[in-house]
Structure 1
Amino acid sequence: MNDYLVYLVEDEENLSEVLKAYLEKEGWKIKVFNDGDQAKESIKDKPHLWILDIMLPGTDGYQLLKAIKEESDTPVIFISARDQDLDRVLGLEMGSDDYLAKPFLPQELIIRTKKLLNRVYGVTSQELKKIELNRYSIDPMARIVTDDEVTNDEAIIDLTTKEMDLILLLTADVGKAFSREKIIEHVWGDNYFGSERAVDDVVRRVRKKMPRIHLETLYGYGYRILSS
């Protein structure tokens, strides 16, 4: 999938135009906002990715990130030229998925963007195949899980991005054991520095939302999904 919609929020117009040109070369659709207020009005569009500068006129990057995460679980890359360590920590705590400190090369943003889009939405043919498991239908392309035993509007199970990423990882190879470290690498990315307990919390939520899934705990190691 190449036709991703990416919203870039950057008040330095020269920089935003350069980044836009680089991003468009990858085949992505890019919409640029030069202030936070304009961007906030477009949160309802739910693009595939937001790239946010922290220092913005009007609504700043922190406020915008909070508003985005209240509306959806769309991935966000934070960029900033301020106190790098503080902004990185605060941004990640508030739900950003990656952080890039200014100044940076446009190619570095491209690499980070590709990696995040691929992790969240998947790109391989195997990942795009629909999966039927324990009367659940899992559509990796649409990122939708449906309960086949429910026939009304509640058939679609409301999963967060990390819950969906976990399901896609474990069902891509049913029966294979994944360590907590591997799950963190896939679901949270290389920049995650919190506790492995976060994996257990996501697993707990998935089990509650998908009770027929045989999500087995391998004590002291990690988790796997069994077919029956």
Structure 2
Amino acid sequence: MADHPVKILIADDEKEIRDILTLLLRGEGYEVTAAKSGEEAVHLADPSIGMYILDINMPGMSGYETAVKIREKFYAPIIFLTAYSGESDKTMGFSAGADDYIVKPFSNTELLLRVRSLLRRAYDYSPAQGSSSSENKISYKDLVLDLDSQSVQKDGQTISLTWTEFQILELFISNRGRIYSLDHIYQSIWQEDAVGDGTIMVHIKNLRKKLGDNSRNPIYIKTAWGKGYYVD
């Protein structure tokens, strides 16, 4: 991964949560900065931050709003912490730019596993220095995936995707015709067993929306009913 400790910014209005997360993450060797509010998190955000862990239900600027503000300038992975587990809540979180979503109460083991997994993916897929080469681009229909800049263009217009959305799209397009079950997608992206929630379905729903894909008659991501998803 990195040669120096990864810096993680935590934003939660509850001091007890901030203290627990700080102690837990520092015990794993991460450098931690804590913010008491969304406003403070936005102020502290900078290119040195390797990950953001944001509570959604903060007074003033919510975690959703905080993520949107951070995403305007920075692309480090974002994990949301929340007491809400409904699909609509997850959809809002991922649409705001989150890469993962942890429902309270959670175990220390689960949080650390998610942090390690997301950081590993972020570093494995981090943009290369210098200009992109044609060998690092994948074309599919009117889409062009740039593996160096982690960007997607449709008809020449850049589409903003999260780390996870980009990796799911790359997985499908690099393996056209192959049907991936939800568990297989999770294992391919996270490199671990699925946690049993609707995370992948929400990511695909948001990905389709950003691509302008109609779930009933999709152009890009097709559904194999009872089996999974694929790109033909």
What is the TM-score with the length of structure 1 in the denominator?
A: 0.62
3-state SS of 1:31 partner: strand
Cα distance in structure 2, aligned partners of 1:66 and 1:222 = 29
Which residue in the other structure is 2:180 paired with? 181
Q: Deviations over 1:67-106 (max 9, x none)?
A: 122223221110112x321422310232211111111222
Cα distance in structure 2, aligned partners of 1:113 and 1:49 = 8
Amino acid at match of 2:34: V
- Once the two structures are TM-superposed, the CA of residue 33 in structure 1 deviates from its matched residue by 0.6
Aligned counterpart in structure 2 of residue 62 of structure 1, from 56, 61, 64:
64
Task: Determine whether 1:14 maps to 2:19.
Answer: no
Cα distance in structure 2, aligned partners of 1:146 and 1:79 = 36
Q: Deviations over 1:165-206 (max 9, x none)?
A: 579979xxxx9879463895345895220448948x88xxxx
**In structure 2, do the counterparts of structure 1 residues 178 and 98 end up closer, same or farther at CA, with 3 Å as the change threshold?**
farther
Q: Is the 8 A contact 2:81 2:104 kept in 1?
A: yes
5+ residue gaps in structure 2?
135-146, 152-162, 212-223
- Once the two structures are TM-superposed, the CA of residue 111 in structure 1 deviates from its matched residue by 1.0
Which residue in the other structure is 2:144 paired with? none
Q: Is the 8 A contact 1:36 1:58 kept in 2?
A: yes
Cα distance in structure 1, aligned partners of 2:29 and 2:170 = 25
Cα distance in structure 2, aligned partners of 1:87 and 1:66 = 15
- Once the two structures are TM-superposed, the CA of residue 5 in structure 1 deviates from its matched residue by 1.1
Cα distance in structure 2, aligned partners of 1:178 and 1:14 = 49
CA RMSD for the aligned pairs? Answer: 4.1
Which residue in the other structure is 1:205 paired with? none
Amino acid at match of 1:181: Y
Cα distance in structure 2, aligned partners of 1:99 and 1:79 = 6
Which residue in the other structure is 2:79 paired with? 77
Which residue in the other structure is 1:93 paired with? 95
Cα distance in structure 2, aligned partners of 1:28 and 1:7 = 10
Which residue in the other structure is 2:30 paired with? 28
**In structure 2, do the counterparts of structure 1 residues 143 and 28 end up closer, same or farther at CA, with 3 Å as the change threshold?**
farther
Q: Is the 8 A contact 2:127 2:148 kept in 1?
A: no
3-state SS of 1:8 partner: strand
Q: Is the 8 A contact 1:120 1:165 kept in 2?
A: no
Aligned counterpart in structure 2 of residue 103 of structure 1, from 99, 102, 105:
105
- Once the two structures are TM-superposed, the CA of residue 48 in structure 1 deviates from its matched residue by 1.2
Task: Determine whether 1:192 maps to 2:194.
Answer: no
Cα distance in structure 2, aligned partners of 1:197 and 1:16 = 30
Worse overlay, 37-46 or 50-59: 37-46
Q: Is the 8 A contact 1:184 1:192 kept in 2?
A: yes
Q: Is the 8 A contact 2:165 2:207 kept in 1?
A: no
Cα distance in structure 1, aligned partners of 2:150 and 2:70 = 16
Q: Is the 8 A contact 1:40 1:59 kept in 2?
A: no
Aligned counterpart in structure 1 of residue 118 of structure 2, from 116, 129, 153:
116
- Once the two structures are TM-superposed, the CA of residue 116 in structure 1 deviates from its matched residue by 0.9
Aligned counterpart in structure 2 of residue 159 of structure 1, from 150, 163, 166:
150
- Same amino acid, percent of matched pairs: 25
- Once the two structures are TM-superposed, the CA of residue 27 in structure 1 deviates from its matched residue by 1.1
Aligned counterpart in structure 1 of residue 131 of structure 2, from 138, 146, 156:
146
5+ residue gaps in structure 1?
123-139, 150-155, 203-219, 224-228
**In structure 2, do the counterparts of structure 1 residues 17 and 187 end up closer, same or farther at CA, with 3 Å as the change threshold?**
same
Aligned length: 185
Amino acid at match of 1:192: I
3-state SS of 2:131 partner: strand
Q: Is the 8 A contact 1:97 1:188 kept in 2?
A: no
**In structure 2, do the counterparts of structure 1 residues 222 and 104 end up closer, same or farther at CA, with 3 Å as the change threshold?**
closer
